[in-house]
Amino acid sequence: MNVSFLIRSTTPGDAPAFHAVMMAAGMDPRSSWTRTTVAQVEWSLVNHGGFVAISGERVVGCVGHRPDGPATLTLNKLAVLPEARGSGVARALVAAVEEVARERHFERVLLAVSQFNLSVIGFYEKLGYAVNGAATYAFASPLSPPPVVMTKQIDAR
């Protein structure tokens, strides 16, 4: 499907739509995502930030980010509505987080792939991410199996 969209930074008011996209993304019910509340999303957006992809008046994709030490920006909560997949929404959202990392002089972007969502590893590899067995995901849920950690070095411009 061809979806036209624009990417913009989130506001606290985006939390309900951001959460709705996460819940509609089709994550396995055993994932920690299914235990995420709108209040937790709002807290994350207020304290760390993120982006939404808008098509018309509708949020069709979302992603969050937060620092993990002075060198690492963590990408989290990347989700795209099923009907908007294949239109470049996820790629654009990841690029937006990478630009934040560049602007804020982080050396790498780190993300965690749920054991219940391993099929997305190939998508991230196409974007230059690699599985990094030496890296840890500081924000892993103790109620879920350890995630697969992927990283990408960010070059300063």
Q: What is the Cα Rg of the chain in Å?
A: 15
Q: Where are the alpha helices (DSSP H) in 86-145?
A: 89-103, 121-126
Q: What are 79-102's pLDDT values in tens digits?
A: 999 999 999 999 999 999 999 999
Amino acid at 144: S
Q: Please check whether residue 100 is in contact with residue 108, taking contact to mean a CB–CB distance below 8 angstroms.
A: no
pLDDT of residue 128: 97
Whether 55 has a pLDDT exceeding 80, the answer reads yes
pLDDT of residue 11: 93
Q: How confident is the model at residue 1 (pLDDT cuts 50, 70, 90)?
A: low
Q: What are 6-18's pLDDT values in tens digits?
A: 999 999 999 999 9
Percent pLDDT > 70 in the chain is 99
Judged on CB neighbours under 10 Å (0-12, 13-18, 19+), 124 is buried
pTM of the predicted model as reported, rounded to 2 decimal places: 0.93
Distance of alpha carbon 99 from its chain centroid, rounded?
14
DSSP states along 49-97? -EEEEEETTEEEEEEEEEE-SSSEEEEEEEEE-GGGTTSSHHHHHHHHH
The SS3 of residue 111 is strand
Whether 136 has a pLDDT exceeding 60, the answer reads yes
**Burial readout 35-70 (b: 16 or more C-beta within 10 A, e: otherwise):** ebeeeebbebbeeebbbbbbbeeebbbbbbbbebee
Identify the structural domains of the chain with CATH numbers, from first to last: 6-153 (3.40.630.30)
pLDDT of residue 78: 95
DSSP 28: -
Whether 71 has a pLDDT exceeding 90, the answer reads yes
pLDDT of residue 157: 63
